[in-house]
Every structure is written in C-alpha cells, then in structure tokens.
Amino acid sequence: MSDDHLLRTRFTERFNLRHPIVCAPMALVTGGRLARAVSRAGGLGVVGGGYAGVLGGEPDLAAELTLARRETFGVGFITWALAKAPQRLEEALAYGPSCVFLSFGDPRPFAPVIHGHGARLICQAQTLRHIDEALDAGADAIVAQGTEAGGHGGARSTLPFVPEAADHIARRSPDTLLLAAGGIADGRGLAAALMLGADGVVVGTRFWASAEALTPQAATDLAERSTGDDTIRTTAIDALRGVDWPDEFSFRVLKNDLTAAWAGRETEARAAFGSLREVYDEARARGDLRTAATVAGEAVGRIRDRPAAADIVESMTREAWARLSIAAARLTRPGNWPSMHNR
Ligand SMILES: Cc1cc2nc3c(=O)[nH]c(=O)nc-3n(C[C@H](O)[C@H](O)[C@H](O)COP(=O)(O)O)c2cc1C
C-alpha cells in the first residue's frame, strides 16, 4: 500500500504504527504468531495473556512472547485475574512489550510498574466509571468497548459509547488517546470509528478468524456458517464452569446447546456455580462446540474466510481510506447517493 493511502491519527503517530489497528489480546487466540503478523503488517499485535495463568489450560505465555518479540508488540491481561497473580506482569514486562493492555478490573495498582518499565498502558473500558479509573491510572490510551464485542464485555453499544467517551476524555484529559472496539471487522467499521472520534480501533473477532490465530479450525468453520443473530451475551457459562467473573461483565459467544439450555436462567446458573466444570472442560478438550463456547462477537456475520492477518490489516485500511476519501464528495452531491454496501 502506498504511503498516500495511510490513515494517520494521533495513535499511529504516538505508537509509531502504519495503521490505526490493534489486534485484541484474545485469551487462547492471540499468540505470538498472530501478534507478530499484525505488527509486521503495520498494526499493533497484542499477545493474549488472558487469565495470567490463574485458570490453567492457557498457552505458555513465555513461549508466545518469545515468538512475538521479533516485532513491536503488546501484552494483555484480564485485570481481576492478574490481581491474583501480579508477578505475571513483571515476568511479561521482561520481554520488552511496548504496551500493556488491561481490561476487566481496576488498572490503577498496575500502572506504576508498567510505566516504570517504559511501556505504555492501554485500558479497555465498558462504562464511564471504567474510563475514569483508566484516566486516574494515567492510561496512554483508552478503549471504549461496545457490547457487540466478542468475549467478555459490558452493556453499552459502540455507536453511542465511543462519541460519549471521546467527549468525556476530551474534557478530562484531552491528550489521552481513544480506541474503539466492538463489532469492527472491516473498512466500514474502521472509517465509522474514526468518525465517532476514535484515534484507532481494537479488532478481535475478525483476527480470531485469521490464519495465524490459535483458534481451532472447527470454530472458524462454524463461524463461516453463522450470522450476527447467532451470538448471545450470557453470564451462565462462566457460572457453570466455575470462573468467578465480576457481575458487571458477560460473555458474548455463539449460541449452542448449553446457552439454549440455560437461556433466561442466569440466577439459577449462579447458584449452580462450578457444577459443570468437568463437563465443560471435557467438551472443550474434545472440541465439542455444542457445549464448549465458540467465542465471537456480532461481527461473526462478516466472517466468511480465514485469511492471513496481514490481508485483514491491508483490506480494512484500504477500504476505510477509500470510503473516507470518496464519501464526503459523493454524499453531499444531490441525486448521487452511493451504495455503501459491500459486494
Ligand atoms: C475470542 C476472544 C477472546 C477475547 N479475550 C479477551 C481477553 O483475554 N482479554 C481482553 O481484554 N479482551 C478479550 N476479548 C475482547 C477484545 O479485547 C475486544 O474487545 C473485542 O474482541 C472487540 O470486539 P470484536 O470481537 O467485535 O472485534 C476477546 C475477544 C474474543 C473474540
């Protein structure tokens, strides 16, 4: 892609990137190969440190960080889990990530260690309270995550949450960067996020179905046959498998037999905490997606292939650039309304 077609934002300038695209630190999915591929393509790959080893069954983080470190990379943790194993942060920082991405919990206790190592802090937020905590922590960038997102998240929708976050941050700390997440899987989403006031985007589901992701093939095959209507947010899975997520977060996954059986029974599932732990773990080990979750967001409806991560970065940027550069001219000319759908 020629330099004329680059989207330049405060985020690309400060993080020294070619494209304002971050690959989310997806637990069990964003290993070193995927993070490296996204960074090599000009975005920012963030290795998924997930539950910081607290849960077990996660990839060896040291091995993944070793793979990633041939390029600039970040590392991400689920904050409430990291609080149970804080030494994991220092261990990860020893690999020299350019940034640490924290989500789902209070980032403030970790900020001094991260900045002390010369790394930047990116905090993912689901509410304005989370944004305030991130600002208090001195975050360099804040991700406003909409409920459309795959995996864990909150209740706000990307479309109104991102501009509200932009205004809030502009009032309190205008220098802090804003990234948008949740449902962004192509150039239209990237262009829209920039128009909402974001300096860049965090993309999960689209990279979940990339060649370099650790995602099982059966899961992305299923995704290719699914639409956004096929996802659901639920707290039942975590309760039944005995993972103690804070109440304010739920899990967006593809509907399956387990979500159908427990639909509308979340309080009951909470009371049955951990009762399906073995059943669930065995189903996951067998790759039985009728019981084990296929973790993807509403953007799953845009997944019809499993390309190389570099092709995703390239096509998102190219499409966003084309749309942004032609839309104003076309939309403001009466009688010449463009068709903005993708063929
Ligand atoms: C499979 C999967 C696993 C995820 N795991 C994590 C995680 O471990 N930590 C985290 O901060 N976010 C995680 N997320 C959420 C992402 O950070 C991001 O907010 C989300 O993927 C953006 O929405 P999208 O999926 O529509 O692109 C995960 C998302 C997916 C799809």
Residues 99 and 131 in one domain: yes
Residues 106 and 251 in one domain: no
Question: What's the pLDDT score for residue 337?
Answer: 57
Please, are residues 62 and 85 in contact by the beta-carbon 8 Å criterion? no
Helices 309-331 + 187-195 axis angle, to 10: 60
Residue 116 forms part of a structural domain: yes
Residues 142 and 254 in one domain: no
| Closest-lying ligand 1 atom to the alpha carbon of residue 50 | 8
Question: What's the pLDDT score for residue 329?
Answer: 79
Ligand 1: residue of 21, 26, 188 to mutate (most ligand atoms within 8 A of CB) is 26
Any idea which residue has 């059986």 for tokens? Answer: 261
Q: What is the dihedral of CA 96, 99, 104, 106, to 10 degrees?
A: 90
Domain extent, residue 174, equals: 3-215+310-331
Residues 81 and 189 in one domain: yes
Question: What's the pLDDT score for residue 342?
Answer: 58
CB count, 10 Å around CB of 60?
10
Residue 82 forms part of a structural domain: yes
Residues 206 and 87 in one domain: yes
36-47 pLDDT, tens per residue?
Answer: 999 999 999 999
Residue 221 forms part of a structural domain: no
Contacts (Cβ under 8 Å, ≥6 apart) of 254: 222, 223, 226, 230, 231, 232, 289, 293, 294, 295, 296, 300
Contacts (Cβ under 8 Å, ≥6 apart) of 236: 258, 259, 262, 265, 266, 269
User: Which protein residues are within 6 Å of ligand 1, measured from CB?
Assistant: 24-27, 29, 48, 50, 76, 78, 103, 124, 145, 148-151, 181-184, 202-205, 208, 295-297, 299
Residues 319 and 185 in one domain: yes
Residue 284 forms part of a structural domain: yes
147-187 pLDDT, tens per residue?
Answer: 999 999 999 999 999 999 999 999 999 999 999 999 999 99
Any idea which residue has 């975050």 for tokens? Answer: 139
Residues 42 and 96 in one domain: yes
Residue 301 forms part of a structural domain: no
210-230 pLDDT, tens per residue?
Answer: 999 999 999 999 999 999 999
Residues 10 and 152 in one domain: yes
The domain tally of the chain equals 2
Band of residue 326 on the pLDDT scale cut at 50, 70, 90: confident
182: left (phi over 0), alpha (psi -120 to 50) or beta: left
Ligand 1: residue of 58, 152, 298 to mutate (most ligand atoms within 8 A of CB) is 152
Question: What's the pLDDT score for residue 184?
Answer: 98
Residues 111 and 64 in one domain: yes
119-150 pLDDT, tens per residue?
Answer: 999 999 999 999 999 999 999 999 999 999 99
The pTM of this model reads 0.97
| Closest-lying ligand 1 atom to the alpha carbon of residue 27 | 8
Query: How close is the Cα of 151 to the center of ligand 1, in Å?
Result: 5
Residue 343 forms part of a structural domain: no
21 strand-pairing partners: 201
Question: What's the pLDDT score for residue 328?
Answer: 76
Query: How close is the Cα of 270 to the center of ligand 1, in Å?
Result: 23
Residue 113 forms part of a structural domain: yes
Whole-angstrom Cα distance, residue 336 to residue 338?
A: 6
Residues 156 and 208 in one domain: yes
| Closest-lying ligand 1 atom to the alpha carbon of residue 24 | 17
Whole-angstrom Cα distance, residue 87 to residue 51?
A: 13
**Tokens describing residue 62:** 């040291």
Query: How close is the Cα of 45 to the center of ligand 1, in Å?
Result: 13
Query: How close is the Cα of 24 to the center of ligand 1, in Å?
Result: 6
Alpha helices in the chain (DSSP H): 10-15, 32-40, 61-68, 79-82, 87-93, 111-116, 128-137, 158-172, 187-195, 205-208, 217-224, 236-241, 257-261, 266-271, 277-286, 309-331
Residues 86 and 174 in one domain: yes
- Domain with residue 153: its CATH number is 3.20.20.70
Residues 123 and 199 in one domain: yes
Backbone torsions φ then ψ of 288, nearest 5 degrees? -85, 100
pLDDT averaged over every residue in the chain: 96
Residue 300 forms part of a structural domain: no
Question: What's the pLDDT score for residue 174?
Answer: 98
